[in-house]
Amino acid sequence: MSSKRILFLIEVAIFTALALVLDLVPFLQFKIWAQGGSISFAMIPIFIVAFRWGIKGGLISGFLWGVLQVAVGTAYILTPLQGFIDYGFAFTALGVAGIFAKPIQLAVKKGNTGVYLSYITLGVFIGSMLRFIAHYIAGVVFFSSAIEGQPVWLYSFVYNISYMFPAFILCTICVFFLFHKQPKVLLNAS
């Protein structure tokens, strides 16, 4: 096994574990709802893996984070299909941000701050939006206990956007700051 492959596996494991730890530490998050959903730093390690290693690294790390949430008992699962959508698919989807890994790394190497900020923002937005869509769909289909008189589609939208939008903003700022302050550390070891 090549040293680059070993580095990839180690980083995916470490950053996935870091995402789980950031998700578990109470003072590093703001829980909004009892059934899940919080504003936290936990997505940041997944985006870092995605921007360092591309879509493959991001998808694997996101998927493992979702599986670990189920394994440690922090997942809120009603049915297997809902669990798959809310934890398997939603967290894996964060890794799609990795489609911008090469343009981000190229812009960081060239010192083009505006370009890599744009790609980081777009990548975090797409990953966060895909996660939001998965949670929204699961909410509409499986959590029909909306506030009386309110349509379930509206309830699911408000419920999920209330933590996903602030989490998107937080992650965009933090990931950009990390790439801006430590660009060489965050670049993929080629």
Q: Write out the two tokens for 63.
A: 């998927």
Could you tell me the sign of the dihedral formed by the alpha carbons of 102, 174, 133, 12, in that order?
positive
Count of C-beta atoms within a 10 Å radius of residue 95: 27
User: Alpha-carbon distance 189 to 107, whole Å?
Assistant: 15
CA–CA separation, 83 vs 161, rounded Å? 19
pTM of the model: 0.92
pLDDT tens digits for range 37-86:
778 899 999 999 999 999 999 999 999 999 999 999 888 888 999 999 99
pLDDT at 146: 63
Instruction: Name the band, by pLDDT with cuts 50, 70 and 90, for residue 190.
Output: very low
- Burial (Cβ within 10 Å: 0-12, 13-18, ≥19) of residue 183: middle
The domains of the chain are located at 3-186
- The pair of three-digit structure tokens given for residue 123, joined into one six-digit string: 């990548």
Which option is the CATH number for 3-186: 3.40.50.10190, 1.10.630.10, 1.10.1760.20, 1.20.210.10? 1.10.1760.20
> In the structure encoding, which two tokens stand for residue 148, read together?
């009386």
